[in-house]
Amino acid sequence: VDTHGQVLGIVRSPDAPIFGTDVSLQKARTAMFFSNPNAAANLIAAGGGVAPFVQAMRTFLNDPQALTGNFAYGNRSVGNLARPYFPDGELGRPPGPLSRPIEDFNPFAVGLQVQLVAGNIIQHAQFVAGASATDTAQRCTSLPDAAAGQNRLQNGIQIFPGGVPIYRGGVLVGGIGVSGDGIDQDDMVSFLGLNNGGQRVGSIGNAANDRRADRIVVNVGNAQVRLRYISCPFAPFLDTNTQNVCEGL
């Protein structure tokens, strides 16, 4: 996708799961959106239960400029911040800033991911039930359009790993998302594919090392925890003993 969330291309293998088309698009848009200089402004403009997540992010990361393009977020980074424990799985830790606290966490109220689309779901349910004559627009968020008919998060966000932002000369130009295998495999295909494709065309690539979200360290009580950017399988290929294929890129 480009920086407006517009689809530039979709490739699907014959044996890929059907849901992967929607999920991969969500991943591409999510990585692009959170890395976008307009992310905070768009979330604030959405109002309601969406806007407070901007300040929650800034407080949690101790960064008043968070969500203004100062860091590149992979989908794994966003997933880290959208769990009811941070770091994920450590009981007693605080919730990530994009999540609800564990005592309020349930499949219908997970945090920003649901809050972005809750209004649309309710409006559609009322329309189907006959309680409203107006159906929701064919999109999933109330974010303002980046341009007429172009919405950066038109089908919502995805917190599973497998997407990274795309840069050209240090400038964000879009995002890529992958879905259909394990999350580490999806991470590798997006990250390594962008790296290798960028080497072939000579103009695009991954975010610079010093800009990636894994440079962010969060203080959580008695510990300091680093965000993750991507995580590739240790030895991913069947026809070679090559290991650590993402290392140093």
Q: Residue 98 has which token pair? A: 């994009």
Where in 2-72 does DSSP place strands (E)? Answer: none
Strands (E), the chain: 163-168, 171-177, 217-220, 223-226
The answer to whether the Cα torsion of 216, 217, 220, 221 is positive or negative is: negative
For the record, the structure tokens of 3 come out as 């920086």
How high is the pLDDT of residue 196?
Answer: 96
Sign of CA dihedral 173, 23, 99, 147: positive
7 in any annotated domain: no
- Walk along the chain (249 residues) in steps of 10 and give the mean pLDDT of each run: 97 92 97 98 94 98 97 98 93 95 92 94 94 90 92 95 97 97 95 96 95 96 93 92 92
For residue 231, tell me if it sits in a domain. no
At 40 the pLDDT is: 98
Is 164 among the domain residues? yes
Query: What is the total count of domains within the chain?
Result: 1
**Angstrom distance (rounded) from CA 93 to CA 96:** 9
Domain presence at residue 44: yes
Identify whether 150 is part of a domain.
yes
pTM higher than 0.85: yes
Q: Angle 207-186-218 (CA atoms, 0-180°, nearest 5)?
A: 55
Domain limits for position 134:
19-226
- Does residue 6 fall inside a structural domain? no
The predicted structure's pLDDT at residue 193:
96
10: in domain: no
Q: For residue 103, tell me if it sits in a domain.
A: yes
Query: What tens digit of pLDDT does each residue of 70-101 get?
Result: 999 999 999 999 999 999 888 989 999 999 99
pLDDT tens figures, 9-29: 999 999 899 999 999 999 999
Closest CA to 141 of 115, 160, 165: 115
Q: Output the CA–CA distances (angstroms, integers) from residue 150 to 1, 41, 77, 111, 140, in the order listed.
A: 11, 16, 25, 24, 12
Q: Are 42 and 152 in contact (CB under 8 A)?
A: yes
